[in-house]
């Protein structure tokens, strides 16, 4: 376990600090390789961080962006993580970045998986940065308690980078990058906001199976993790 907890006073300060963290990682990889990739989370939390990151002075045409996970819905749905990225991150300076969504027109994530995998090959791997979120149930990405592919997704030696996921509390079918892909990022952050999520984090940092609170698989990984939290 090797995490650093950054406690910020509010959402604006957190967005600023996390945008710095991500921009630095992108800049470092671009300086080294000429290209860099970023995987971001969806849900309710990242909006302000996306807006802040989109203003950063980066060579965005050299940046590829994808999602850590996606709900298998059309982009017209309010539940679409891709929709959130398009609305709040791919704007201003960051509009020049290339976005590779994790969902397509296929009926199910299983049917669409091959095409998504092919599209992801256009990004520079491994990721320069990945930003995870955490649900109230301790899920991260689409690593849900009770998920039908959870064990495969959390296998640190797993060969697959992308998996479908169905879980009782997931809302809809999902698709998710797997743990080894996320842990392979140069810079890995966990973004948590709200007083209600602090006890969830504390509980996850305690003992218990990762299958019950899958964020534990990230918190227990032997690599640096920057946790950004504000009330």
Ligand X SMILES: O=C1O[C@H](COP(=O)(O)O)[C@@H](O)[C@H](O)[C@H]1O
**Sign (positive/negative) of CA torsion 46, 48, 50, 53?**
negative
Give the one residue of 43, 59, 158, 184 binding ligand X; rule: CB under 6 A. Answer: 43
19 vs 30 by CB, closer to ligand X: 19
Alpha-carbon span 202 to 223, nearest angstrom: 19
Alpha-carbon span 115 to 122, nearest angstrom: 12
35 vs 148 by CB, closer to ligand X: 148
Give the sheet arrangement for strand 129-132, strand by strand. Answer: 3-7, 225-230, 187-193, 129-132, 36-40, 63-67, 98-100
Q: Could you tell me the CA-to-CA distances from 197 to 52, 69, 143, 194 in Å, in that order? A: 22, 20, 17, 6
CA geometry: angle at 44 spanning 210 and 122, to 5°? 75
**Sign (positive/negative) of CA torsion 23, 29, 31, 36?**
negative
What token pair was written down for 222? 């032997």
62 vs 197 by CB, closer to ligand X: 197
44 vs 223 by CB, closer to ligand X: 44
* Residue 141 near residue 41 (C-beta atoms within 8 A): yes
186 makes contact with ligand X (CB under 6 A): no
69 makes contact with ligand X (CB under 6 A): yes
169 makes contact with ligand X (CB under 6 A): no
135 makes contact with ligand X (CB under 6 A): yes
Q: How many residues bind ligand X (CB under 6 A)?
A: 12
What token pair was written down for 9? 């006073």
What token pair was written down for 185? 């990022």
178 makes contact with ligand X (CB under 6 A): no
Stretch of residues binding ligand X (CB under 6 A), selected from 4-12, 37-45, 117-125, 199-207? 37-45
Q: How far is the CB of 83 from ligand X (least distance, A)?
A: 12
Q: How far is the CB of 131 from ligand X (least distance, A)?
A: 9
68 makes contact with ligand X (CB under 6 A): yes
42 makes contact with ligand X (CB under 6 A): yes
Stretch of residues binding ligand X (CB under 6 A), selected from 30-38, 66-74, 107-115, 158-166? 66-74
Name which of residues 136 to 155 contact ligand X (CB under 6 A). Answer: 142
41 makes contact with ligand X (CB under 6 A): yes
Q: Classify 92 as helix, strand or coil.
A: helix
Site string for ligand X, 104-133 (x = CB under 6 A): -----------------------------x
């Amino acid at each position: 376990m090797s995490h650093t907890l950054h406690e910020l006073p509010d959402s604006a300060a957190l967005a600023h600090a996390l945008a710095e963290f991500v921009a630095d990682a992108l800049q470092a990889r671009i300086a080294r390789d000429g290209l860099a990739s970023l995987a971001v989370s969806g849900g309710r939390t990242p909006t302000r961080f996306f807006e802040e990151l989109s203003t950063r002075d980066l060579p965005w045409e050299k940046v590829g962006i994808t999602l850590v996970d996606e709900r298998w819905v059309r982009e017209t749905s309010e539940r679409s993580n891709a929709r959130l990225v398009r609305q709040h991150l791919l704007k201003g300076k960051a509009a020049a970045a290339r976005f590779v969504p994790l969902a397509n027109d296929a009926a199910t994530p299983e049917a669409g998986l091959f095409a998504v995998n092919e599209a992801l090959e256009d990004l520079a791997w491994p990721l320069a940065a990945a930003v995870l979120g955490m649900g109230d149930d301790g899920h991260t990405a689409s690593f849900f308690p009770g998920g039908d592919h959870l064990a495969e997704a959390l296998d640190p030696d797993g060969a697959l980078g992308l998996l479908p996921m169905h879980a009782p509390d997931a809302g809809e079918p999902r698709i998710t990058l797997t743990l080894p892909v996320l842990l392979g990022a140069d810079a890995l952050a966990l973004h948590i906001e709200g007083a209600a999520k602090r006890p969830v984090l504390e509980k996850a940092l305690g003992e218990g199976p990762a299958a019950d609170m899958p964020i534990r698989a990230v918190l227990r990984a032997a690599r640096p993790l920057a946790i950004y939290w504000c009330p």
